[in-house]
Structure 1
Amino acid sequence: MKRIGVLTSGGDAPGMNAAIRAVVRKAIYHGMEVMGIYNGYQGLIDGNMKPLELGSVGDIIQRGGTKLYSARCPEFITPEGQQKGIQQLKAHEIEGLVVIGGDGSYRGAMVLTKQGFPCVGVPGTIDNDIPGTDYTIGFDTALNTVIDSIDKIRDTATSHDRTFVIEVMGRDAGDLALWAGLAGGAETIIIPEDPFDMKDIVQRLQSGHDRGKKHSIIIVAEGVMSGNEFADRLKEHANIETRVSVLGHIQRGGSPTARDRVLASLFGARAVELLRDDKGGLAVGMKNNQVVDYTMIEAFEGSHQTDLSMYQLSKELAI
């Protein structure tokens, strides 16, 4: 291929810029041109794109967010919107596309691949919920952001002898809540993958109180319920007064960690290698600390598996 495109789609994640940088510089190293497509699939439909040179991606590896911006695009779900995007690819002589995002972004990439434009997916989401890869770009940074918040909230919980409920992101996957809860020493973790028993939670809190512990941290993944809803239910069951902290979009921001920068660089470079070989309909990922590629169909048909042994361990360590 002589010219490829790159776009970011869906929610932003720290490390996306590092992936963009890797795509551009790896492609240029091999004599290829790169078109940066702005605002995701909406930018593709609108033809909002321009060439990216070496200098275009200078000094972005340490920046959170995405230089190419991102946007939801309901229009691209329609056949008419897809045809508009394909027409733009033809008009700009783009032969292949790197799509950085989550499963929704992959679906768009699969459509384009079936239409004759090879696409490679790079997993970028803080939820760490893409089947086929152990880790996604942005997860490690978001995790450290959450842990930092837990540490600070625990200081206040200790000072005032209170129970705090902390709501973290994770619509359908509890990885962020689970990892942050285990690393932050949370007494209780609520995730979508395992039903919770309020009576058991109350009993655990009471057991801690009986041995002199007067403060607790409860981590709730947003996919289960809101932090405020959980606090209300806890009060109904045991009249336990809580304070709620909703971390929200602070989890998506910030300078990516070294791990996310390296992961993004490896993924971006591998995506370019696949396109050089005229391979599309693939996604890159990490399995057992090795960069791998697999079909996007596997990503669609598979399901993300949360390590429930870690969940059990968190309960054992929080006695």
Structure 2
Amino acid sequence: MIKKIGVLTSGGDSPGMNAAISAVVKSAISKGIEAYVIREGYKGLINKWIEKVDTTFASDIISRGGTIIGSARFPEFKEESVRKIAVENLKEFGIEALVVIGGDGSYQGAEKLTNLGINCIGLPGTIDNDIVSSDYTIGFDTALNTVVRSIDQIRDTMQSHSRCSVVEIMGNGCGDLTLYAATATGAEVFSTKESFLTEEEICQEVKNLAKAGKRSVVVAVAEKLYDAHSLATKIEEASGYVTRATVLGHVQRGGSPTAMDRYLAVNAGIFAVEQLIEGKGGLYIGMSDNKLVARDINSTLNMPKPDKSQEYQKARKNNLSI
């Protein structure tokens, strides 16, 4: 049986990462295994930013947003010579297995470490919900609630003054935050990379809503598709609505994780430790049909994205009805 397990967070932070860290630490210690955290992601493996932690550390972080142990982009980890240094450092501390919390890029590193003799299990930590092998990711629910709350508040003032608002939402590679938020708030117009509307199409839809007497309009768009402020100007010129743009930005990453994100994170963390105790590695823990599953990392990286075109069509038809 393994004696020491490490945990790190990699890539962008997401609410619920700390709950997952907490679960890994508590679960390991409850089974007589020493728990270690690696600070600043894969960079910490190279710099030996590794420390032993206890249940007090784990208990104090479960409700906090972000990641208490830090995260960092570290492209150098793609080099095998760099990964070998990481393996030697882990062996120096006697750490035999690792839980990696992050996105697809993080899993690629975990798979390669497994091939070098350190069993790794990946947990899905990203607000974008862009890991196709999991129905939901740790942090998505919290970010979605932040977006919905923001749009609701924007709607209040748009409704008061008969205006239009362009709201830019994170998730350029995956439009789930925009789709789910638009559905939940009744945003009249929305556009993502997967279901893209041109600026002309957006302006025409808003213009039609103005002619129909709609008092307020929300245009929800995924980031990096448009210049939100320029789009707002074009909408105002086309429709006559006074139009403003709001870029939600990094408020979507922060905040105390919701109960659902904590529930997913804790159970995924426990499940990961169980897999490592069984001697398994190179696996990714995901949600499928409301159940935790462990899949081979390589296969998850090549899974096709689910087709959500019908969801987009239904939401557009419903939200545009006046």
TM-score by length of 2: 0.94
State how far apart, in whole Å, the 1-side matches of 2:305 and 2:129 are: 8
Q: Which residue of 1 aligns with 2:55?
A: 54
What does residue 141 of structure 2 align with?
Answer: 140
- What is the CA–CA distance in structure 2 between the aligned matches of 1:16 and 1:310, rounded to whole Å? 29
Tell me the SS of whatever aligns to 1:268: helix
Give CA-to-partner distance per residue, 1:23-47, whole Å, 9 cap, x none.
0111111111111101100111100
Per-residue Cα deviation, 1:56-75 (whole angstroms, up to 9, x for no partner): 11121111011111111122
What is the aligned-residue RMSD (CA, Å)?
1.6
Q: For each residue in 1:218-247, what CA deviation from the matched residue of structure 2 results, as whole angstroms up to 9, or x when unmatched?
A: 111014234234335546766765211000
Q: Distance in 2 between matches of 1:106 and 1:171?
A: 20
Q: How far apart in 2 are the matches of 1:225 and 1:295?
A: 37
Q: What SS does the aligned partner of 2:207 have? A: helix
> Any stretches of 5+ residues in structure 2 without a counterpart?
none
| 2:210–2:239 contact (8 Å) kept in structure 1 | no
Provide the residue aligned with 1:286 in structure 2.
287
Q: Deviations over 1:86-131 (max 9, x none)?
A: 1111111111100000111111111101111110000000000002
* Structure-2 separation of matches of 1:80 and 1:232: 51
Cα distance in 2 for residues equivalent to 1:248 and 1:144: 14
1:242 aligned partner: 243
Aligned residue type for 1:154: R
Q: Give the percent of matched residue pairs that are identical in Structure 1 and Structure 2.
A: 47
2:161 and 2:136 map into 1 onto residues whose CA distance is 37
Aligned pairs for 1:147-296 (under 5 A) are 147-232=148-233, 234=235, 241-296=242-297
What per-residue deviation string (whole Å, max 9, x for no partner) do you get for residues 275-308 of structure 1?
Answer: 0111111000111111111111122112332522
Q: Find the residue that maps to 1:63 and give its secondary structure.
A: coil
1:310 — aligned with what?
Answer: 311
Alpha-carbon distance in structure 2 between the residues aligned to 1:237 and 1:298: 47
Matching residue's letter, 2:214: K
Listed as ranges, the matches of 1:97-116 within 5 Å are 97-116=98-117
Change (3 A) 1:235 1:207: closer
**Contact 1:174/1:306, CA 8 A, preserved across alignment:** no
> How many aligned positions are there?
319
Asked if the contact 2:206–2:239 (Cα under 8 Å) also holds between the matched residues in 1, the reply is no
- Say whether the 8 Å CA contact 2:203–2:234 is kept in structure 1: no
1 CA distance for matches of 2:33 and 2:145?
A: 36
Q: Which amino acid aligns with 1:45?
A: I
Quick check: 52-61 or 92-101, which moved more?
52-61
Amino acid at match of 2:276: L
8 Å contact kept, 1:173–1:306: no
The code of the aligned residue for 1:281 comes to: G
* Cα separation, partners in 2 of 1:10 and 1:238, compared to 1, 3 Å: same
Distance 2:57 2:85 in 1: 27
Question: What SS is found at the alignment partner of 1:318?
Answer: helix
Q: 2:94 aligns to what? A: 93
Contact 1:126–1:142 (Cα < 8 Å) also in 2: yes
Match in the other structure for 1:21: 22
- Look up the match of 1:3: 4
Aligned AA (1:119): C
Q: Deviations over 1:184-241 (max 9, x none)?
A: 1101111111231444433322232222113210111014234234335546766765
Could you list the per-position Cα deviations for residues 138-191 of structure 1 after superposition, in whole angstroms to 9, with x for gaps in the alignment? Answer: 000000000110011111111222111011100200000110111011011111
Instruction: Give ranges in structure 1 of 5+ residues lacking alignment.
Output: none
Q: Distance in 2 between matches of 1:91 and 1:22?
A: 25
Q: Which residue matches 2:79?
A: 78
State the secondary structure of the residue aligned to 2:310.
helix
Is the 8 Å Cα contact of residues 36 and 51 (structure 1) preserved in structure 2?
Answer: yes
Moved more, 78-87 or 102-111: 78-87
Q: Which residue of 2 aligns with 1:126?
A: 127
1:43 — aligned with what? 44
| SS across alignment from 1:225 | coil
The offset of 1:261, in angstroms, is: 0.3
